[in-house]
Structure formats: C-alpha cells, structure tokens
A and B are shown apart, each in its own frame.
Chain A
Amino acid sequence: MPAHEQETATAASIRLESLTKRYAGQAEPAVDNITMDIPAGEIVVLVGPSGCGKTTSLKMINRIIEPTSGRIFIDGEDVTHVNADQLRRRIGYVIQQIGLFPHMTIAENIGMVPRLLGWNRARISERVDELLDLVGMEPSAYRARYPKELSGGQRQRVGVARAMSADPPLLLMDEPFGAIDPITRERLQNEFLRLQSNIRKTIVFVTHDIDEAIKLGDRIAILTKGSKIAQYDTPEAILTAPANDFVADFIGSGASLKRLSLSRVRDVELNQWAVGRLDDDRAQLRQSLTESDHGSLLLLDEDQRPVRWVTGHDLTRSGESLDRVGLPATATVEPHATLHDALNEMVTSRVGCAIVVDDQRRYQGIVDMRTVMRAIDEMRESSQARDRHAAVQPMEAG
C-alpha cells in the first residue's frame, strides 16, 4: 500500500492503530480496537449515535483521554507516549462549549498557545489580527473585548481562531457547531468549508448529525458501539452504497435528497431566464419575456443585483414604477451553496426557482427544478453504473 504523501507542509496524516479505551468497572470497552488512517489535508468526520465512543476516540488523539492500549501516529511519528502538553500545542482543539477563557480578552485567548511557545509580542499580535481577519471578525473591534461580550456564533469563530493560533497541522473538533442555532450553524459550516479550502489542514470532526457529516466531510467514518467502524468512505460512496443495514438506517430515509447536499451550485450548469434592467424600456422587456419560455422576468439594478420578478401582466400596467411591481427577488443562493440549499430556497420562492448570485450579490444565473432533476439523473446514472460493476463481482454474504 503506498504511503500517503504529505500534500503540504501544513497538514499531518494520522494513523490510529488498535486504539482501545477501557474504563475500570465497565465490562465493555468504550472504544474497542479502532484502526484508522486519516490522510493529510482532509476533513474526516466521525459520526455515530450517542454513546458510540466517537468523542472518546477523538480525545485519545490529543490524549485528553489516555488510551488503554494501541498506538497513535502523527506523520509517522509515534506520539502515544510523548509529553502530552507539548503534543497538544501542535494540535488545535475545539469543543462544543468552546471554553474561551472568560478572564482574558479575545486577543489573549487567541495568543495563548503562541505565548506558551515563546513567540515575541509583535509576532503574537500580528498573528491574532491575521486570525481574526480569517474568521471574519474586525480585529480593531474585537481584540480587546471579553468573551462575555460576544454572541454564540462569534465565540465559536474565536474558538476556531484560537485553535489555529500556532498554525497546527491538525485540528480536532468535537461537535463545534452543536450548541448553535440552526441559521448561524449553517453560516458557520459554510464559513468553515471556505476556511478549510484555504488552510487545507487535517481535521478530525465529531458529530452525531449525519447531514452535517455529509456536508463537511471529505470522508466519513460511521461508528457503532465501541467505536467500531461500520463504514469509512467518501460521502458519495456512503450514500450510494451503504455497507450494511446499520449504515443505511443511520443515513435514514431520503438518501437521494441528502445526495443533493453533495452537489454544489457552482458545479451544475445554471439556467438563464429572461433578465432586464430597471431602467430598460418596457416594450423591450415584454419582448424578452415573450421570447423566453418562462413566466417571469428578473429585473436587475445598475450593479447587476436582482431586484424584482415581473410578469407580462406587471409590464403592461403603466403608471407604477418598475421597482414597485411584481414580486421582490428573494430566494438567492451563492455558488458554494449545495443543491439541497437551492432546492430549499426554490420551494419557498413564489417564482419556483433560486437566483444564484456571487459574493457581491451580482446575478449569475438561475437554479430551477430542471437543474435539480438533471443533477439527480446524473447521480442515478453513476450509481447504476456502480451497481452494474458490483454485479460482476462476487457478493459477500448478507
């Protein structure tokens, strides 16, 4: 088997070898002999029902929980018995409750590990500002604040910044978005993916939420009791070919809908509906609408930002100014949103489609039902191809 090449200097590969944790007085081990390779630069999500030992497995990597037996390798180095404090300074760690130090400012929180590592003041403060920028918080506004002055989402961002302060090649995250309201969680997940596409760290992520696992993971390990691996594969493979009934049950119904979470808007071909400008001539707009095969036309402002949906009826009504007629252009998604997000917007929109805009909110195109159906067809074809391939190979029992 070829060894995993380290893609960048900033990510580390991990190998867990027969890792086991037994607690005194308990018949069953909490983690029973888990062996797992985690490639450098990927997000690997450990997911499973509560009590399956996923958090214990995670916490053995930085030895917050000392393994009973087995070994841990980081970049090939056996770290099972090295000094735990020094090991942890090389590993970022984010927990659900974040655990910011309430008596320290945001800058002091983020600068903690660099301070332990003996960086000088100037370098620490430069790093703090860089990280605050990276997680989307204005350094001059937040540096001197205390954790109690921040919202839950902001604390979570600071927690991530703090974990990355000494630029560790490896991040461990234990349900980091678990205690956050659904809307903020969604936003933080998207930010997290954008961040990871820049930093390319190795991230081990624990969650009990299969949808979060599918959205964030490059690979997912589905764990059963005792942290036994039921399936360890890419989200696509797990959704299209669950290894056993446990995995199929855990994914739950709606696997095809979940697969929509794997395709991003930027990866599909966008539809183009009729568009016009607010200051265009009405006759011209009517003509564009008639030539299109859709019922509505999207009006943009001078910066190409969507403003209103109008129908032929709205355009014939004279007197009203164009930015008053029709319906407001809501239901917008950005290119990194998933088709699942787009579908969600689509069904709540009265026009029946989602408008794709870039990060400046400029119009890019339209995702409608046809776009989604095309994507589902493609996925179905690829999974049928896989099934045909499996049919020529001997099946395992069951």
Chain B
Amino acid sequence: MTFLDYISGVPAYLEREWSDLLELTFEHLLVVLVTIVLATVIALGLGLATYRNQSGARAVLTVTGTFLTVPSFALFGLFIPIFGLGAVPTVVALVLYALLPIARNTITGLRSIDPAVVESAQGMGLSRRQRLLRVELPLAWPIIMTGVRVSTLMIVGIAAIAAIVNGPGLGGPIFQGLSAIGTQRGFNLAFSGTLFVAVLALLLDGVLGMLSKLTTSKGL
C-alpha cells in the first residue's frame, strides 16, 4: 500500500471517530492550559526575582535550560516512582519544559527597558512595586507573551508523549497507532492524532497572538 492509499482511508475514519477525537483534543487542551498557566506563574516569578541580578538570572536560565535537554521520554518516566501514572506526572514534566522560554523572555524583556524610563519613574516617586506593575511589566509584556506562545507551541507537541505515563490527550491514539503501524487502522490513529495536535497548536497560537495584541499598549 502506498501513502496515498493510506491517506484515502482517513476521511472515513475521521467521520466515524470525530467525537472521540474531539474529546481527546479537549483533554489535550486542558493539560496544555493548566501547564502554561502554572509555568507562566512560576517563570514570571523567577524572572522578576532575578532580572536585576546577573548570577541569579544565569542560574535560572541554566536550570530551566537543563530541563529542556532531558529527553521527554525519560523525564516522564522518571516521575513515575514519585507521582505514579496519569495527569499529575504529565503536568509536572510539562511545566518543567515550559519554564525556559517564559523565564528567558521575562528576563530579556525587563532588561531591555530603556534605563531612562525607569529612572524617570523613580524620579517621579513611583515605589519599587509601582515601577514594576505600572511601567516595567507593561513594557516587557509583548516579549513575555512571545515566550508564552513559544512554550505553548512546544508543550502542545510534547504533551502527546505523555501517553507513555497514561497521560490524557491525543498521545493515546498516536502511540496506539504507532504500535500497529503498517495497518490502515494504525495509520488512521497516528495520522488523525498528529493532525489534531497540529490544528490545536495553530489555533492556540492564533488565540494567544490575539490576546497579546489586545493586552499590549498601542504606544509600543
């Protein structure tokens, strides 16, 4: 059978299974959202705590960068003894992966602000906290949001691998399909799982892009 033969079998499969696939997509989306919210909170906190401190910032970037170098298969597996199987180890591992782009862009964004703007804010009598909330964060916001988008795209893909720890989402059909590769059924599963992951990633990126535009000042 050629690739085209396999492909031609897919539409019928999608028509039959679309409601199951949508349900899995929804689970997948949920995992990604929970992960990104947690990762943003943590990475933003780490970035804010260290951006004015050269060695602190370097430590944050090195550690979060190291998480990214661990093969995802291994990281999911390593958490089984601690968190068991299912959603919890999935989210924990994904959060670790998602930290670096957000933390790095938070630090870069806050550091790229014109020092004259910060000095004039200080000279006007804004307290440290007011400077951060009213001036520095709004100015760094578009760059931070870019980090969030990069993390999200990445996490949508990696989340599929969470199926090896029985994680929720579109990884299930993909792994089942790969174990039955060579059959029409295996192809259907793997192909439609991958297709839905890709579509979900594009949709999320579009939504985040819009969100970023809406929450960024027109003056920037």
Contact = CB atoms under 8 A, between A and B. Distances in A.
B218 A146 contact: yes
A62 B125 CA distance: 9
Contacts of B126: 85, 112, 116
Interface in B16-65: none
A88 B219 CA distance: 26
Contacts of B127: 85
The residue among A85, A101, A103 with the most chain B CB atoms within 10 A of its own CB is A103
A159 B124 CA distance: 11
Nearest to A165: B124
Interface in B64-119: 114, 116-119
Contacts of B135: 101, 103
A310 to B, nearest CB: 53
A62 B120 CA distance: 12
A91 B123 CA distance: 8
B130 interface: yes
B138 interface: yes
A64 interface: yes
A148 B119 contact: no
B119 A113 contact: no
Contact of B220 (A89, A95, A96, A103): A103
Interface string B196-220: 0000000000000000000001111
Nearest to B139: A103
A104 B217 contact: yes
Contacts of A90: 125
The residue among B119, B121, B130, B220 with the most chain A CB atoms within 10 A of its own CB is B119
A97 interface: yes
Nearest to A59: B123
Interface residues on B, range: 20 to 34
Interface in A66-97: 85-91, 93, 95-97
A116 B125 CA distance: 8
Interface residues on A, range: 20 to 34
Contacts of B123: 62, 64, 88, 91, 93, 95, 172
A62 B124 CA distance: 10
B125 A89 contact: yes
B117 A88 contact: no
A64 B122 CA distance: 7
A102 B120 contact: no
Contacts of A113: 124-125
Nearest to B128: A85
B217 A103 contact: yes
A295 interface: no
Contact of B119 (A86, A99, A100): A99
Interface of A: 62, 64, 85-91, 93, 95-105, 112-113, 116, 146-148, 159, 162, 172
26 contacts: A64-B119, A64-B122, A64-B123, A85-B127, A88-B123, A89-B124, A90-B125, A91-B123, A93-B120, A93-B123, A98-B120, A99-B114, A99-B118, A99-B119, A99-B120, A101-B120, A101-B121, A102-B219, A103-B135, A103-B220, A104-B219, A116-B124, A146-B218, A148-B219, A162-B124, A172-B123
4 nearest interchain CB pairs? A99-B120, A146-B219, A93-B123, A103-B217
Given A100-B120, A101-B139, A103-B139, 15 more contacts: A62-B123, A86-B125, A90-B125, A93-B120, A95-B116, A97-B114, A99-B114, A99-B117, A99-B118, A99-B121, A102-B217, A104-B217, A113-B125, A146-B218, A159-B120
